[in-house]
């Protein structure tokens, strides 16, 4: 359980770092540079550690392509664009929709039962989630809107969908070949970087790919280490012990860390409404977690 909390504390730090990144470079270009660097480091380590796995993982290319598109390219491209308009805390909070997506997809793919108590926990969490969505800033409004949601919020929700589906693909790969984890992550990051560079050519401002080299390098190396090296592989390791749904649901604590980091690094303000929403979400988490424990999907320790 401690490792799950640590995972989300580290993931939360990537939100303010990513805001620094998109203020100093174009989102798609930054994604490409970040992923090719992180993926190359993982592949180099895998080659040194076990050359057999390095080459054998290629027979799982269908999974690797899926990971590259959903978990690497689509997730980061949409997230980074949204972070131009959203605060670190709100961006992280929107990712809290992941458990709802994960529970539904896991029901169909892994036959994980959704009980009435789970639905109650998810409904409580959704109440807190809506409190955050209904509170837009002036900067968010500049991104445009559809119904009561800004485009920044909608695009971040797309990032959440892509993230969950990507991790479910990873779980399927782990079930087939646990030893392929590191190499699969490395290959998917490199392939995802190619997707990002191609998209960057068409959609990014080519005259402003990097506008602040110091912040670009600082955010790049920090995010590569935290997200590409530590978090990606810690998450995949935790999937061997916990369900994707539970790990995602514990992510409701992530906005608390993101709010603190955003305040510390960027001077972002934290409203009382945010803490109320967080409390409601944590109650939902407790209800959901207790049911997962009863069903035996996670270990009691």
How far is residue 188's CA from residue 204's CA, in Å, rounded to a whole number? 22
- Mean pLDDT confidence for 262-288: 87
Query: Does residue 227 lie in a domain region?
Result: yes
Query: Does residue 300 lie in a domain region?
Result: no
Output the pLDDT for position 295: 66
* Tokens found for residue 296: 């035996």
Split into its structural domains, the chain has a count of: 1
pLDDT in tens, 252-273: 788 889 999 999 999 998 888 8
How far is residue 34's CA from residue 223's CA, in Å, rounded to a whole number? 8
* Tokens found for residue 205: 């401002």
pLDDT in tens, 157-215: 999 999 989 988 988 888 888 777 788 889 999 999 999 999 999 999 998 899 888 99
Output the pLDDT for position 245: 66
Q: Which residue in 65, 295, 96 sits closest to 187, CA to CA?
A: 65
Pair type for strands 145-146 and 149-150: antiparallel
- Mean pLDDT confidence for 114-142: 82
Query: Does residue 244 lie in a domain region?
Result: yes
Output the pLDDT for position 158: 93
- Mean pLDDT confidence for 283-301: 71
Query: Does residue 301 lie in a domain region?
Result: no
pLDDT at 300 over 60: no
Q: Looking at per-residue confidence, does 37 or 251 come out higher?
A: 37
Query: Does residue 15 lie in a domain region?
Result: yes
pLDDT in tens, 40-89: 998 998 888 888 888 888 788 999 999 999 999 999 999 999 999 999 99
- CB-side neighbour CA atoms (13 Å) of 218: 13
Output the pLDDT for position 199: 96
Q: Percent of the chain beyond pLDDT 90?
A: 39
Residue-by-residue DSSP string for 34-52: HHHHHHHHHHHHHHHH-HH
> Which residue range is the domain that position 42 belongs to?
2-295
- pTM of the entire predicted model: 0.84
Query: Does residue 153 lie in a domain region?
Result: yes
């Amino acid at each position: 359980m401690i490792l799950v909390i640590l995972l989300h504390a580290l993931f939360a730090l990537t939100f303010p770092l990513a805001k620094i990144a998109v203020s100093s470079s174009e989102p798609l270009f930054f994604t490409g540079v970040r992923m090719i660097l992180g993926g190359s480091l993982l592949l180099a380590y895998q080659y040194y550690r076990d050359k057999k796995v390095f080459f054998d993982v290629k027979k799982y290319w269908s999974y690797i392509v899926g990971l590259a598109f959903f978990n690497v390219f689509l997730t980061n491209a949409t997230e980074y664009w949204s972070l131009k308009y959203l605060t670190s805390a709100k961006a992280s909070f929107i990712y809290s929709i992941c458990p709802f997506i994960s529970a539904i997809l896991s029901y169909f793919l892994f036959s994980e039962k959704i009980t009435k108590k789970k639905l109650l926990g998810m409904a409580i969490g959704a109440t807190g989630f809506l409190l955050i969505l209904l509170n837009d800033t002036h900067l968010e409004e500049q991104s445009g809107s559809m119904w009561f949601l800004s485009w920044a919020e909608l695009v971040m929700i797309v990032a959440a969908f892509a993230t969950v589906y990507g991790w479910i693909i990873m779980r399927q790969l782990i079930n087939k070949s646990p030893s392929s984890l590191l190499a699969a992550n490395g290959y998917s990051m490199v392939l995802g970087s190619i997707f990002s560079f191609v998209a960057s050519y068409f959609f990014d401002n080519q005259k402003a790919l990097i506008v602040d080299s110091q912040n670009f390098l600082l955010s790049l190396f920090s995010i590569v280490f935290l997200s590409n090296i530590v978090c990606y592989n810690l998450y995949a390791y935790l999937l061997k012990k916990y369900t994707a749904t539970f790990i995602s649901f514990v992510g409701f604590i992530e906005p608390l860390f993101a709010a603190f980091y955003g305040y510390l690094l960027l001077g972002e303000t934290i409203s009382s409404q945010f803490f109320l929403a967080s409390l409601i979400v944590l109650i939902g988490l407790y209800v959901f977690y207790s049911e997962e424990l009863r069903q035996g999907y996670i270990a009691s320790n």
